[in-house]
Structure 1
Amino acid sequence: MRYRMYGSVRKGLKIEILYGDQHVAQSPYILKGPVYHEYCDCPEEDPEIWQSIMSCPSQDPQITKDFISFPTIDLQRMLKEIPIKFSQTRGAVVHYTLLNNHVYRRSLGKYTDFKMFSDEMFLSLARKVRLPDVEFYLNVGDWPVEYRKANDTPGPIPVISWCGSVDSRDIVLPTYDVTHSTLETLRGVTNDLLSIQGNTGPFWDNKTERALFRGRDSREERLHLVKLSKENPELLDAGITGYFFFREKEKELGKVQLMGFFDFFKYKYQVNVDGTVAAYRFPYLLLGDSLVLKQDSQYYEHFYVGLKPWKHYVPVKRNLEDLLEKIKWAKVSSTTNSSSKW
């Protein structure tokens, strides 16, 4: 059960769960401590206490890995170089300053509209815990931006991004999609990391025994996926829901209607193919109970470091040449999806 608070309770929040007029299990439940709603400006003054209460790990493996390229940080160089490098017309970098638990920002470049997602994340944190005074740059565009190696002269500068790649040095945070859906749970969004787990479709034996893909035309391999689907409809149901990058292909490949995400899990197998960068649907697919077939990719999100092929997903070559083979294997294998156990 989930419930979104719209008011704060200092102590003694009472929760009753009834079936008819009878209490269920140990109902009523009394929460002794304070319970705050999302917009309560009630920061915990001691970050270590807050970290302990939230059961946050002391280290994150991806963050630790990302900072290997930055044994030291030259703040003055960063403040001087980044505005020059990323303030061009197509820039998508935002300069954030956290000072006295207030959030300040300055946009660099034209394409920074997605700062609304980073704003809500930092403002939410500032309402919950006193943040350290710090300055940093956040890339709100799709692609990583810092490609210099640690031994280059000059070396890389730390830029935070939502997506990383094997050849970039960006420091990766959870995507705006994950943070926004978490903050807007039970209000502005339907799909979030918990709702997916409660809407995983029919039991395994009752799911459609084909692989599914729906998405925009944001990578050429997605078009190839549709061609494979037309040639092998007994194995694969793939369709493009909107054309932007390859509009000339719409007449040939066709366009399908959008499908509700919960309906994805009526199928036994899900195909995850990159868009412009990593497909941000991936964490949601993993939380369902379908088997995920994931295209090999140079891009990654913050949690990929904890995933293992053949345990959390079935790997597929980047050009998809072995996709049909993997679907056939899945159909005759007794393996079901274990990604949601991760």
Structure 2
Amino acid sequence: MWTSRLSSRRVQRFQRNKAFSISYLVWSYYLDIVDYFKGLSGVHVLWEERVNSATSAMGKEHYIWLTTRRHNFSKTLKRMWYFGRKIWGFLFVLFVFCWYVSYLGKIMPAVDKTKHREVPKKEWESKEPFAVPEWHLPYINNQLLQLRAQGKEVNEDLVKKFYHLPHSVTDEMENPSLDNTQKHDAESFKETRPNNQMNSKIPTEQKNKLMQDKAVPVSQHKKSSSSEPRNSKNGLKIPKTHIPVSPVPRTVIKSLKSLVDRYLEPFLGGISKEQYMEVLQRNTYAVTPKGANKGVSCVLIQIVDHEIYVLDPYQITISGKDLYKNRLEQALVLIQKLVEKKSLPNVEFVLSLHDCVQTVSKPHHYRVAKHIESRPIFTLIHCNFSDNLPFPMLEGSSHRGDWKSWDMSYSIPWTQKTDKAVFRGGIRDSSYFESREEAQRKCMDAGRGKLIQLQEKRQDLFNISVSGRCLKSYILKRLSFEQQVSSMTRILVAFDDANLKQHFKYNIYAEGNCFWADRLAKQLFASFVTIKQDTPCGLYFEPLLQPMTHYIPTDYFFNDLIEKIEWAQAHDAQVKQIMQQANQWASQYLSFSAVLTFCP
């Protein structure tokens, strides 16, 4: 505030002579010390004295300004010291308190806080174990496997010998040497056996409870007192099929037998019940090993005395996905046919209805289960990093159409087909990437999204139509006209009609979920050539296919797809021969009789 009273001339002189100001500050502190000692001696220094002594060295205004600044600086130092003492005092008190608490913890006895507190049971601990009868036989007989491994032929007599029960199931349940647990399981099995007089009186609620708690014969899910069809939500229903069974050539039987031996090779040492039942009981991630899949998409199928039993602990047949219900229906159709042929012994196995394999047996970097374990679980596919057993599925059904509808495709001559590669489908997150976020970020670099980029480069070679979402750009539902989706992607959208594909010579097989798609069997029957993507997973019959004989192979990332299409255009006669060989192979290996041959 003293600056305003100073003349501009003196202010300028003061700013130029900063060294003098600093020296005066030192001199002023010196005077304070002198005044202090004078005060001790009883001599009092007046303010006027100080001003008069300083006037000779500098102007009065300068002296007052510098003295005020020094006084403010001194007050700031005092305040900092006072505040610092408070902080150090608080820290000291906190230190003493922490030390005292730690000292009490050492000298006082430890108190068990959970001793008098009732710990609630977990959800999976309160549930009773599945009431599965103990009469089961191993699905794979070790002695039969050894005979097959030695190259010996297994006839019906050997099958009856090795799979014959030592005594009937009824005698085994009435055996007095059984312990209490086995008696309880045997009684549970007696209750679930089909009884035509009792089944018609069982209410729907009791039937649903049986489905949840224990293995129930499929026959109990049918109404015997009413002609109305049973609702698919409340129980199982095996549709009646009238597919003729024709004899299978010996070469096909031999190839399928060798394929089965390859799939069963990891289990030549035998299979215990705990190996597959442990997977079925994984109802939460708390009881599931880290990196493994839960077993909520699995069911237990049992065949006892030519009667099919289904243990559905997760109510897939009641509240599961329609896709899972359809797959279970297809599996039961095959099993029913085998039961009618009386070619199945008393067996039980776990069937997973999920798209992916249930367990893995080798390390990998894909977005599937990571926990390495060997489990004899039947799944829809087989992968080179898993030893799960593939279960064949029927393509023809009321939900998915029938192969007969494809017969009209042969009415289009080969010369009238367009020499382009066609694809119809939806975008799926590739399982090649470890995280879903990375897969969505790179959706245009792999899988079906890569086909969109290739069509942008060479529209003369492709006719691609996909639906879904990629790179935060919504690819709209397939329509019958061209639509600009984003500045990056232009897609020809059209109706996904199977007959539309027959107008093209080449059909691309691209993975969907978990490295596979369920359209390959139909493509091998069709009147075009399949350009198949190399994937680590596939259906049960894929190891029997030969590249450039039954299909044209392409890289997983479609890096050589353009080159393969250009080669096909230049070798039209050879491509047509590949199509004919694929049709002939499919008619032999994918017939209903061949599928039944693979199952046992």
Q: Which residue of 365, 374, 386 corresponds with 1:156?
A: 374
Write out per-residue CA displacement over residues 205-239 of structure 1, whole angstroms, 9 at most, x where no aligned residue. Answer: 11011110001112442011022113311110111
Distance of 2:259 and 2:284 partners within structure 1: 28
Distance of 2:344 and 2:471 partners within structure 1: 45
1:224 corresponds to: 450
Q: Which residue of 50, 59, 63 corresponds with 2:260?
A: 63
80 and 127 in structure 1: CA distance in 2 versus 1, 3 angstrom threshold = closer
Larger Rg: 2
Distance of 1:40 and 1:203 partners within structure 2: 33
143 and 229 in structure 1: CA distance in 2 versus 1, 3 angstrom threshold = same
Write out per-residue CA displacement over residues 75-119 of structure 1, whole angstroms, 9 at most, x where no aligned residue. Answer: 232254223346656731111111121211223557654133323
1:119-198 equivalences under 5 Å are: 119-129=332-342, 131-148=344-361, 156-175=374-393, 179-181=394-396, 184=397, 190-192=401-403, 194-198=404-408
C-alpha contact 2:449 2:470 (8 A) present in aligned 1? no
Q: Secondary structure at the match of 2:253?
A: coil
Amino acid paired to 2:497: G
Residues 1:269 and 2:506 aligned together: yes
Question: Which structure's residues are more often helix, by fraction?
Answer: 2
1:340 corresponds to: 583
Unpaired stretches in structure 2, ≥5 consecutive residues:
1-238, 286-293, 363-370, 431-442, 476-484, 586-600
Q: Which residue of 521, 532, 541 corresponds with 1:283?
A: 521
After TM superposition, the structure 1 stretch with the greater mean CA deviation from structure 2, 289-298 or 135-144, is 289-298
Name the TM-score, length of structure 2 as normaliser: 0.43
Distance of 1:298 and 1:247 partners within structure 2: 28
Q: What do you get for the CA RMSD once the two structures are aligned?
A: 3.2
Query: How far off is 1:282 after superposition?
Result: 1.0
Q: Secondary structure at the match of 1:205?
A: helix
C-alpha contact 2:352 2:379 (8 A) present in aligned 1? yes
C-alpha contact 1:62 1:172 (8 A) present in aligned 2? no
Q: Secondary structure at the match of 2:419?
A: strand
87 and 199 in structure 1: CA distance in 2 versus 1, 3 angstrom threshold = farther
61 and 200 in structure 1: CA distance in 2 versus 1, 3 angstrom threshold = farther
Query: How far off is 1:255 after superposition?
Result: 7.0
Q: Secondary structure at the match of 1:121?
A: helix
Q: Secondary structure at the match of 2:456?
A: helix
Amino acid paired to 2:350: Y
Distance of 1:94 and 1:290 partners within structure 2: 37
90 and 96 in structure 1: CA distance in 2 versus 1, 3 angstrom threshold = closer
1:91 corresponds to: 296
Query: How far off is 1:39 after superposition?
Result: 3.6
264 and 137 in structure 1: CA distance in 2 versus 1, 3 angstrom threshold = same
Unpaired stretches in structure 1, ≥5 consecutive residues:
1-37, 42-50
Query: How far off is 1:125 after superposition?
Result: 3.5
Query: How far off is 1:60 after superposition?
Result: 2.7
How many residue pairs align between the two structures?
285
Question: Which structure's residues are more often strand, by fraction?
Answer: 1
Amino acid paired to 2:301: Y
Distance of 2:308 and 2:474 partners within structure 1: 45
Distance of 1:245 and 1:135 partners within structure 2: 43
Query: How far off is 1:195 after superposition?
Result: 4.3
110 and 189 in structure 1: CA distance in 2 versus 1, 3 angstrom threshold = closer
Distance of 1:87 and 1:101 partners within structure 2: 33
Q: Which residue of 311, 320, 326 corresponds with 2:564?
A: 326
C-alpha contact 1:211 1:237 (8 A) present in aligned 2? yes
Write out per-residue CA displacement over residues 285-329 of structure 1, whole angstroms, 9 at most, x where no aligned residue. Answer: 121221211111101111112111111111111111111111111
C-alpha contact 1:95 1:106 (8 A) present in aligned 2? yes
C-alpha contact 1:86 1:92 (8 A) present in aligned 2? no
Structure with larger RCO (C-alpha < 8 A, sep 6+): 1
Distance of 1:40 and 1:239 partners within structure 2: 35
Distance of 1:64 and 1:231 partners within structure 2: 45
Write out per-residue CA displacement over residues 156-199 of structure 1, whole angstroms, 9 at most, x where no aligned residue. Answer: 12011111111110111223xxx150xx4xx665432x543552
C-alpha contact 2:280 2:299 (8 A) present in aligned 1? no
Amino acid paired to 1:273: A
1:237 corresponds to: 463
Name the TM-score, length of structure 1 as normaliser: 0.73
Distance of 2:331 and 2:359 partners within structure 1: 19
Q: Percent identity?
A: 19
Amino acid paired to 1:96: I
